[in-house]
Amino acid sequence: MQVDMNFLHGGHHVISVLKNHNITTIFSLCGGHITPILVAAKQAGITVIDVRDEAAAAFAADAYSRLSGTPGIVVVTAGPGLTNTITAVKNAQLAESPLIIISGAAATLLKGRGALQDIDQLTVMRPHVKWAKTINTVRDIVPTLEKAFYLSQSGMTGPVFIEIPIDILYHDSLITKMYLESFGKAQTISQKMMKWYVQRHLKNLFKDSHLIKTIRIEKNQIPVISSRKIKKITKILKKSERPLLLVGSSAVTLKNEALPLADAITRLGIPTYLSGMARGILGRRHPLQMRHRKKEALKEADAIILAGVPFDFRLNYGLSIKRTTTIISCHRSPKLLMMNRKPTIGMITDPAIFLKELSRRIEKPDDHWNDWISHLRARDNQREKEIEHLANEPAEFVNPLKLCQALEEVIDEKSIIIGDGGDFVATASYIIRPRTPLTWLDPGVFGALGCGAGFALAAKSVRPDHEVWVLYGDGAFGYSLIEFDTFIRHKLPIIAVIGNDAAWMQIAREQLEIFKDDVGVILRRSNYHIAVKGLGAEGFVIESNDEISSVLKEAKEIAANGKPVVVNALIDKTDFRKGSISI
């Protein structure tokens, strides 16, 4: 990075580390505390995508890390700029996304003295990150950020937080002038002592600040897989009559392992359920992938392999699985490996590497599991027929199942699909099939609404040649509306489809049945398609099944020509997912 050595500041040191790690994009919302970082990023050729809400920036950094294999970077100002990111940061922590949050902070000599936006940021952030650190001198910037990159990607991957006081980021001559001018002429002994203290502090603050030292801390090694345990697992599978494989987001932490992971699953020959970011690993119609009736399959299985899947609420905390079932679990996190139900065999390592090794060592039985696979497939097919029947039921507005079927047909093979919503998105997940590995994004276990715009910003930035579809519930879309201004400014043509049933339906359905009261769950069939036009995007409304196909095709054409577009689909309320509420 070519820098004018006469105007070198802390922002240049920050960007030197990002360049060292091949970061091409950062996500931010401006603030006086962080201006030097953003200016230095632009000078260095790093794209700065500035959003309208810091949460969108943090969600974007999360998705950037999931899709690129490199930590996503979010840069926000101090105080409220940082606290606005907490939901997205917690979502990233639970999704095991290795993003790096960099925030400004009050000047080193003014912390705790009532400075603008000064709060105890480390205490706020520590519960939601792997590591939180304040940088105290300019010379600490590079080694601290290098450690942040290392920690975010090591072991159980996740977010880290770095705060950089404002006086460390700006040019030393400017900061020195500001500090010393605040004293005026030191006349009393106490004033002279204070001025001497400040001068000594500044000398230490900027010592060696003219040097940009490039260092690189490499990621630590993945723990070695026990050959003894692998041998034991192969014996268990050889005897098993009804094995089942569950693969979750943690299995695709290593992006270059996604395609080898698909090959490993195929070689294993075990019927498989995919969740989270693992959806799409096996393409659209792999013979081993099952999509429906997972709860029943888990009850019937005699051996279950969990690859990056914990026993949380999504698996009923392990309570629905028989005690006689052999549980084989692999995860990067010791805590998640043992959560709620202790596995018969547990391994702390990368799930993808484990499955690759297991697939090399297994003695695949000759057609031993064919009856079991056929049984599961028949049940899957039966559920598909039920969905087809429900999709053809008459609708007052738009049948949401019919809409999802049309989306499945029209979405390009080269596409990324993002889910941000409750009932409509969950309905879509039964029907819409991610095309290839790493092409499905949803919040994950935290279930945080509002991820859609940020995820789309990252998806279109990382893979500009892909269609990017965001499937919204009408409640969730409220969080993203203003970011269509961001899409326009940065020329990112995403396609948003809103399932608009005028309610927070995932909550409303159960609330109405239990309490006979709709308080807090009713919305309006708002004209979101008109609202986005005011921000410069294109918008359409679908009011009947007959309009679905033509509108979706026109939306694709508009996006292909470089303009973001919203399809506001007025859908019927249904009982398709009745009884799906989780606790």
Q: What are the sequence ranges of the domains in the chain?
A: 5-205, 228-375, 392-570
For 465, other C-beta atoms within 10 Å of its C-beta total 6
pLDDT given for residue 219 in this prediction: 66
Q: Indicate if 228-375 has the same CATH topology as 5-205.
A: yes
Q: Which pLDDT belongs to residue 186?
A: 67
Q: What is the pTM of this model?
A: 0.93
Is 392-570 CATH 3.40.50.970? yes
Do the Cβ atoms of 435 and 415 come closer than 8 Å? yes
Contacts of 61 (CB under 8 A, 6+ apart): 26, 27, 71, 72, 73, 74, 92, 99, 100, 101, 454, 458
| C-alpha torsion sign, points 570, 391, 418, 95 | positive
Question: What are the structure tokens assigned to 542, written together?
Answer: 């679908």
| Separation of alpha carbons 387 and 431, rounded Å | 8
Strands of 565-570's sheet in order across: 440-441, 415-420, 467-473, 495-500, 565-570, 538-542
CATH label, 228-375, candidates 3.40.50.1220, 3.40.470.10, 3.20.20.70, 3.50.50.60? 3.40.50.1220
Question: What is 5-205's CATH topology?
Answer: Rossmann fold (3.40.50)
| pLDDT tens-digit map of 195-216 | 777 788 888 888 877 766 666 7
User: Residues 486, 50: contact at Cβ < 8 Å?
Assistant: yes
Q: What is the pLDDT of residue 443?
A: 84
Token representation of residue 537: 């995007």
Residues of the chain with pLDDT under 70: 1-6, 182-187, 211-215, 218-221, 364-366, 579-583
